[in-house]
Every structure is written in C-alpha cells, then in structure tokens.
Structure 1
Amino acid sequence: MAYKIAVFDAKPYDIATFNKVNEKYNFELVFHKEHLDKNNVLLASGADAVCIFVNAKVDSEVIDKLYSYGIKLIALRCAGFNNVDIAAAAKKGVRVVRVPNYSPHAIAEHTLALMLCLNRKVHRAFLRTRDGNFSLIGFEGFDMYGKTIGVIGTGKIGKVAVGLFKGLGMNVLTYDLYPDTKWAEATGVKYVSLNELYGQSDIITLHCPLTKETEYLIREESIAKMKEGVMIINTGRGKLIHTKHLIEGLLSRKVGYAGLDVYEEEGAYFYEDHSDAVMTDDVLARLLSFNNVIVTSHQAFFTQEAMSNIAHTTMDNIQSFFEGKELENEVVNKQ
C-alpha cells in the first residue's frame, strides 16, 4: 500500500516535477493549492506525511492537529525552516526534514543578475526602449571591477556567490557567525566584523539563514554605518531586512539600490497572481514605486536543475523516514 503524501502550496510546475520524480518512489501524492496553516490543516487528514513550502505556517496548533491525524513527518521542500515550530514538533515526536542544498548556483546567479540589472538600469532600459526612447540619461552605472562587496553568510550559496564576485574582479569581504577559515584562506577572501563590512562595502548581499540573531540584520542602525549609495541585495529571507527602515534609507539616498527576491510580509502576495487586484500592502507598494529597486517573486531558486533536485531530495527524505533510516536532512530541535 502506497504512503499518502499531502503536498501543499502546489503550483503546476510543482505537480509536474513531483509526478515525474514520483515514478521512482510510487507514493500517493495528493496536491493542494493552499498553504498549510490552521485554516486548512484538515486537508492533511488521512495522509501519512505532509510536504510544505516557504509560505506554510506550521505553529504548535497545526502540529497538534497533524499529530492527531497520525502524521509524524513534515517534509519541507526548501532550505529554510523558520515557518515551522521545531520545538513543538519535537515535543510531539513529529520529525521535520528539509532540502538544504538544491542549487546554490541558481541563487548565486540570481543575486548577480539583480546586481547587474540595478547597476546598469536594465529594467528601466527595457521599458524605455519599448516606447521608442533610446536616451541614455539616468542610465550611468559603475564598473563592478575593483568594487568591494560584503557577503553576509558563507554557506554553500554564499561560497558560490563569492566565486562569481571574484570572477568580476571584486574585492570580497565576508561575515559569518561560524566562519570557514580554511575556505577563506584557500579562496583569498577576508572575514571581517559586521561593522567593518557595513562601512567598507559598496554592495552588501545576504546569504544567511533567518534566525533570532539575524532577524532585521539590516535596519536603521546598520544602514547608518554603510557607505552613501550602498547597494543591498537579499535573496535569503525577507525578515533579514526591516523594510520600513530600508525605505527610509532609499528616501535619504543612503541606500542607492535594493534588489529583493524576498520580502518580510511576502506570504500574502508571492507565488500568486494579484495583477487584477488593488495592492493593500502599502509598504510593498512603496517599494515597487522606486526606480532603483527591483523586487522579484522569490524566484532565485527557480531553475530546472533546482526543481529536480528539490523533488528528488524531498522524496528521498520521505522514503528514508518510512523505511526507518537515518534522516540525513532532519531539522533538529536545539532548544
């Protein structure tokens, strides 16, 4: 008898990829377009495990319901797990697994794309030339070569990103709560304090997880320490940046550019089509009004290779659980 997996927040591309990969595993996949939260957790009833994405809200109330349905596995098909109450899951004996490494190249390359588009105003040129306007006024950029970039977080993604930046001839500064000094020495990059990184970087890019230590890492106090006209890129998690403080920095021109693939309140908008609706999030609407800001749809991960890797790793995680094997990608409660 096939194990039944309730797959939440399933888009057409998720369904196509997971169905193809499932030919190897033969699970019974039940797809739901809704995010898993307290309002629709009932949809998980009868399943043996749930598979969720970044916009799920799995608090203690949801975990209690899952446990009452006999579900003892939550399979995240993403790297981040801040949307799951890990301590509550541990108390109920509900295991949590994730996909820590699906394609660091995809996210690092999207980071570089945001940097280049902002610097050379590609997004504005695209719109202007479609109207027959080929003026160069307002489009002057700067050479990336020789500029200093601060990379916060040197996990797999951060390390790939550093390689791209060094390939452009940039001076790379790094910061990490758990520095990999051997890698830094071999690569020729320098770990510095956050204050030094803020003060010396022309561009700052975020590749760290969202934790209590990193929440609102970029806020009024840290922005004040940065260079005038700094470029800030975030392809990590939305709450790494205090958005209202970022907007204040943009208005004062302390922040010269912002490239955001994530947003702290993105759950209400990202991955959905709201083009026919009035935007009720005033903060997001304000961000979108700046011509020196690019907001993308939490799509940095979205490549063919990454989607395939996510599906395979998720299925492997689930199969290992049901076979009683060691869960290599388990999220362990540290409280």
Structure 2
Amino acid sequence: MKIAFFSTQPYDRHFFDCYNDPFGFELEYFDTPLNRNTTGLISQCEAVCIFVNDHADAATLQQLADKGVKIIALRCAGFNNIDLGAAKTLGLRVCRVPAYSPEAVAEHALAMILTLNRKTHKAYNRVREQNFALNGLLGFDMHGKTIGVVGTGNIGKAFCTIVQGFGCKMLAFDLVANRELEQLGVEFVPLIDLLQQSDIISLHCPLTDQTRHLVNTETMALMKNGVMIINTSRGGLIDTASVIEGLKSCKIGYLGIDVYEQEEKLFFRDLSDDIIQDDMIQRLMSFPNVLVTAHQAFFTKEALTQIALTTLKSIDELHRGNNLTQKAALLV
C-alpha cells in the first residue's frame, strides 16, 4: 500500500521511516502542501497523509477520490482544514492523532508564559552583549495569580495539572466540566467570568465556527487590563487585527502565540532571506511584549514518535477494514 505525505519536513521523513518497518507501506513524500492544484503529484495511492496547513476542501477531496484514494490521515489533532461532510459523501475514511503528547503542547504554553513574564529571551541577548543591567526585566510572581484555561481536553487538562504547581487559582471553561480536574481544585466557570477574572488566559480549544475569533474586540473588553494571552491551539481563535489594537492600547499586557491566522504562508519555512509581505505578523513581532514561535509546541521526540505510530496504525487498521482501537482518532 502506498501513502502520499504532503507538507513534509526532514523530521517527518525520519520518524515515519523509523516506524514503518512493521507495516511495510510505500511512503512517498512531498514538500508542497496539499490543495486542489497539487493532487496531480500522486498516483496509485490509497492513502494521503496531511498536516495543519494542507487544504482538504470538497474540490480537493473529489480529485483524490477520483484518483482512488480511500483514506485521509491527519498527522495532527486539529481537523478544521478538511471538509468532513464532503469526505463522508465521497466514502473517504478520515483519521487523526487526537492525543500524541498533550504534555508537549502544555509545557510549551507554560514556557511562553514564563518567558514573557521573566523576559528570559531578552536577558539572554543582553548578557551576550555584556549588558548585566536589570532595567526592563521586571516580572511578577506566578503564585497567587488567576489562570483561565479555555478548553480542557487532553492538552488543557495537562496544562492545568502542570500550572497548579505554581500555586495559581485555576479557572476553566468547557462545554462539559472535567470531574477529575474539579477534584484537583480547578473551578469551571462561564466564559464571561473566566475572561473577567483571569490574569493569564491560555487557549486550548479546537477551531470551530463557534470558537473562531474567540479573542476579539468585544471579549477583550471583558478582560483585565494588562492580561496575558497564550495561544498554542489554532491561529483562528484570535482576531489578529483586534489583538494588535489591544496591544497598542495596553489592554493586552503580554501575548504569546505559537499559531497564527495566516501561518500557512509563513510557518515551517526559512524566510530569512525574504521580505515578508504579511504586515500583521510584522506588526505583532514589533511589540516588545509579544512572543511568537512557529508552531513548535508539538515538537518533541515523544510527540513525533506518537504521531508516526498512531498515524501508521490507524491507516493500517482502516486498510484492513477494522475499527480503530482509538475511537477518537476516527473522524469519518
């Protein structure tokens, strides 16, 4: 069986090649993203493996189905970039990796909080220039602060568990309260209350029609002045234009983003010799209280191992006509 991989990087090839021996699949890698203009690259493939910035809309899926593709495997947890309705109509099976390493993303969110607070990135550069002054590096105690967590799935749950060690008051919002987290002292509250009370807000929810631009002018007005916002989930959760205004007015005191609305044109590429045409990301990076990382929260050895194993196992099970042992992995 042949699998075509789109939007691949050297580390994708390394980990999938390492764990493919038991399955014996033929793996074909493409650097280019999947969209309706790149489906012509594949031939005689029964499965296609895609990532966060690939476009599997109805037209693309139709082209894949016409080529004999039966399985679409997302090597990520999010699935907002695929038309599930069209996939079902076309008879395509769709799977994902619902929980590759929740701790990897949760730990990165915490790293962003600590970096923005204690300004370790600035201190590192200063000391290398023999500047040992402390002016401009003032932070705050995490202990006693209120942290609001939007979304308490696997990653949100891991984040709550880690941050509790700092002695923070933990608030959470989700459609269904997590009883295990409640027993640990996390208080589930309405979203409005979370926005009003939190010193730090960390986003860990999926991108849906209901959550798109969750952070906007109206919701920011409810937040504390100087609030810290962290997003390691999906770029579309934040209305970038509104957040820029919030930064300019000092309503937002700190912003840490590992994802970005228009990241497909930027992330996972070396653009160091290019002139970036995206004015919004350039404006964001001009603020001294903004930290941008390029969708690296998932990027650990443990996570990449689990992504490769789960993806290959899911494709193998679907190819054999079996039900997936991890039911959350099956989307269609």
Partner of 1:282: 279
1:184 offset after TM fit, Å? 3.3
CA distance in 2, matches of 1:124, 1:51: 39
1:178 offset after TM fit, Å? 2.3
Alignment equivalent of 2:191, drawn from 191, 194, 205:
194
Greater mean deviation of Cα atoms: 95-104 or 45-54: 45-54
Contact 2:148 2:201 in 1 (8 A): yes
1:44 offset after TM fit, Å? 2.3
1:153 and 2:151 matched:
yes
Structure 2 residue identity aligned to 1:235? T
CA distance in 1, matches of 2:169, 2:112: 18
SS at match of 1:277: coil
Alignment equivalent of 2:290, drawn from 289, 293, 307:
293
1:242 offset after TM fit, Å? 0.3
1:298 offset after TM fit, Å? 0.3
Partner of 1:144: 142
Structure 2 residue identity aligned to 1:263? Y
RMSD: 0.8
Partner of 1:248: 245
Structure 1 residue identity aligned to 2:154? K
CA distance in 1, matches of 2:182, 2:284: 39
Contact 2:7 2:30 in 1 (8 A): yes
CA distance in 1, matches of 2:140, 2:147: 14
1:121-145, Cα deviation, whole Å (9 max, x unpaired): 1111122222211111111000000
Partner of 1:121: 119
CA distance in 2, matches of 1:108, 1:268: 25
Greater mean deviation of Cα atoms: 186-195 or 60-69: 186-195
Greater mean deviation of Cα atoms: 89-98 or 322-331: 322-331
CA distance in 2, matches of 1:233, 1:243: 13
1:23 offset after TM fit, Å? 1.2
Identity %: 51
1:56-114, Cα deviation, whole Å (9 max, x unpaired): 00111100100100101100000000000111111101111000000000000000000
Structure 2 residue identity aligned to 1:238? G
CA distance in 2, matches of 1:55, 1:13: 17
Alignment equivalent of 2:213, drawn from 216, 234, 256:
216
Contact 1:60 1:88 in 2 (8 A): yes
Partner of 1:105: 103
1:1-31, Cα deviation, whole Å (9 max, x unpaired): xx00001111111101000000111100001
SS at match of 1:16: helix
Partner of 2:165: 167
Contact 2:182 2:188 in 1 (8 A): no
CA distance in 1, matches of 2:99, 2:126: 38
SS at match of 2:135: coil
Partner of 1:331: 331
Contact 1:124 1:291 in 2 (8 A): no
1:311 and 2:308 matched:
yes
Partner of 1:53: 51
Structure 2 residue identity aligned to 1:258? L
Alignment equivalent of 1:78, drawn from 65, 76, 79:
76
SS at match of 1:150: strand
CA distance in 1, matches of 2:31, 2:5: 8
CA distance in 1, matches of 2:23, 2:181: 40
CA distance in 2, matches of 1:127, 1:291: 13
Aligned residues: 329
Structure 1 residue identity aligned to 2:283? R
TM-score norm. by structure 2 comes to: 0.98
1:95 and 2:89 matched:
no
Contact 1:77 1:99 in 2 (8 A): yes
Greater mean deviation of Cα atoms: 6-15 or 183-192: 183-192
Structure 2 residue identity aligned to 1:162? C
SS at match of 1:183: helix
Contact 1:232 1:258 in 2 (8 A): yes
Structure 2 residue identity aligned to 1:331? L
1:270 offset after TM fit, Å? 0.3
Q: Which structure 2 residue ranges, 5 or more long, are not aligned?
A: none
CA distance in 2, matches of 1:112, 1:280: 30
Structure 2 residue identity aligned to 1:312? L
SS at match of 1:253: coil
SS at match of 1:290: coil
TM-score norm. by structure 1 comes to: 0.97
CA distance in 1, matches of 2:15, 2:186: 38
